[in-house]
Amino acid sequence: MTKNLEFTEKLRSSGLRPTKQRLKICEVLFNREKTFHFTINDLAKNISEKLKEKISLATVYNTVHAFKKKGYLKEISINSDKSYFDTNITNHHHFFDEDTNQLIDCDDNHLDNVKIKKNITGKKINSIEVLIKVASDNQNQN
Amino acid sequence: MTKNLEFTEKLRSSGLRPTKQRLKICEVLFNREKTFHFTINDLAKNISEKLKEKISLATVYNTVHAFKKKGYLKEISINSDKSYFDTNITNHHHFFDEDTNQLIDCDDNHLDNVKIKKNITGKKINSIEVLIKVASDNQNQN
DNA sequence: AACTACATTATAATTATTCTAAACTATTGA
DNA sequence: TCAATAGTTTAGAATAATTATAATGTAGTT
Ligand SMILES: [Mn+2]
Ligand SMILES: [Mn+2]
Ligand SMILES: [Zn+2]
Ligand SMILES: [Zn+2]
What's the CA dihedral at A8, A10, A12, A18 to 10 degrees? -40
Instruction: Give the tens place of pLDDT for each residue, A73-85.
Output: 999 999 999 999 9
The whole-angstrom distance between B132's CA and the closest CA on chain A is 4
> Which of the four pLDDT bands, split at 50, 70 and 90, describes residue A1?
very low
- Decide yes or no: CATH 3.90.870.10 for domain B2-83: no
Distance of CA A74 to the CA centre of its chain: 5
pLDDT tens per residue across all 142 residues of chain B: 468 899 999 999 999 999 999 999 999 999 999 999 999 999 999 999 988 889 999 999 999 999 999 999 999 999 999 999 999 999 899 999 999 999 999 887 767 666 666 667 788 889 989 999 999 877 444 3
Ligand 1 ion: Cβ-proximal residues, 5 Å cutoff: A 81
Give dist(CA A110, CA A98) in Å, integer: 18
Sheet holding A37-38, edge to edge: A37-38, A84-86, A74-76
Asked if A102 and A37 touch (Cβ cutoff 8 Å), the reply is yes
Chain C: nucleotides below 7 Å from protein CB are 6-11, 15-20, 25-27
Alpha-carbon distances, residue B74 vs B70, B81, B124, B127 (angstroms): 10, 17, 19, 11
Give dist(CA A59, CA A61) in Å, integer: 5
Q: What is the mean pLDDT of residues A95-103?
A: 94
Among B82, B113, B123, B127, the residue to mutate for chain A (most A Cβ within 10 A): B123
The segment(s) of chain B belonging to CATH 1.10.10.10 are: 2-83
Where b means 16+ CB within 10 Å and e means fewer, A34-55 reads eebbbbbeebbebbeeeeeeeb
Please name the residues between 74 and 103 in chain A that touch chain B, using a CB distance below 8 Å. 75-80, 83-84, 95-98
Q: What is the pLDDT of residue B88?
A: 97
Give alpha helix (H) positions in chain A.
Answer: 4-13, 20-30, 40-49, 57-70
Q: What is the pLDDT of residue A2?
A: 62
Q: What is the pLDDT of residue A69?
A: 97
pTM of this prediction? 0.91
Report how many Cβ contacts below 8 Å link chain A to chain B. Answer: 129
Asked if B111 and A115 touch (Cβ cutoff 8 Å), the reply is yes
Distance B56 CA to C9 C1' (A): 6
Q: What is the pLDDT of residue B51?
A: 85
**What letter does residue A108 receive in the DSSP assignment?**
G
Q: Please give the share of chain A, as a percent, with pLDDT higher than 90.
A: 70
Compute the mean pLDDT over every residue in chain A, rounded to the nearest whole number: 89
Ligand 2 ion: Cβ-proximal residues, 5 Å cutoff: B 81
Give dist(CA A72, CA A30) in Å, integer: 9
Contact at CB, B111 and A126, closer than 8 angstroms? no
Q: What is the pLDDT of residue A140?
A: 41
Q: What is the mean pLDDT of residues A43-63?
A: 94
Q: What is the pLDDT of residue A142?
A: 37
Given a cut of 60, whether residue A141 has pLDDT beyond it is no
